[in-house]
Amino acid sequence: MISDEKLLEQMAEGDQAAFEAFVHRYHVPIHQYTERLLKDAKKAEDVVQETFIRLLKQLKSKQIPTYPKAWLYRVASNICKDYWRSAQYRSEDTAKEEMPVTVDPQASVIEIYERQETRKEMLASLKSLSESQQQIVTLRFYQDMKLKEIAEILDLPLGTVKSNLFHALKKLKGVLSKEEKEAENHEGTTQPRPRALSARR
């Protein structure tokens, strides 16, 4: 398979086939990444389009990114950050009801991720994290990236990425465990059940 760097060199020379091949390679991963951050497929597509537009501008000025993959994710991340800081985002950020998450409070953080029943529930739990932590968790678990790659994409020291990931997972475990307890308390209040039966649910 032709390398990213080679494709970019060909794109800089105006090769349309190289551009189409590069877009085909990264459109879906970048869209999935930004959609999980923004919780909006349409806005994610806008971010993807803007990311590739910026890449073309970069190539037009004869500046080929040294690490194309990291460069793409970094640009997409920065566009998302700009959106989060915008007045448009603040006006659209409305509260949404979410279904309770079922999780064993004693489970490990990895098990918690594996037991997420729906995509909607996982995205809802990510909202409890800071912007930086959301990006790190999304890149690590959804994009299956190594910590070193994440550090390059977010332009952060490796130690900072590790620390943020640790605290993010710890916070997620606490949030999910709290939601489970609240759901159990609500169920017990609205519809009393024998304790043995409830424990099996």
The predicted structure's pLDDT at residue 100: 37
Burial of 94-117, coded b for 16+ CB within 10 Å and e otherwise, reads: eeeeeebbebeeeeebeebbeebe
Query: From CA 156, how far away is CA 148, in angstroms rounded?
Result: 10
The predicted structure's pLDDT at residue 95: 36
Q: Is the pLDDT reported for residue 59 higher than 60?
A: yes
The predicted structure's pLDDT at residue 73: 95
Q: Which of 15-29, 79-93, 117-131 has the highest mean pLDDT?
A: 15-29
* Of 96 and 159, the one with more pLDDT: 159
Segment 158-201, tens digit of pLDDT: 999 999 999 988 888 877 666 666 656 655 555 554 443 333 44
Q: Which of 28, 23, 38 is nearest to 82 (CA)?
A: 38
Query: From CA 39, how far away is CA 125, in angstroms rounded?
Result: 12
Residue 103 confidence class, pLDDT cut points 50, 70, 90: very low
* Of 197 and 5, the one with more pLDDT: 5
Query: From CA 109, how far away is CA 111, in angstroms rounded?
Result: 5
Segment 13-40, tens digit of pLDDT: 999 999 999 999 999 999 999 998 888 8
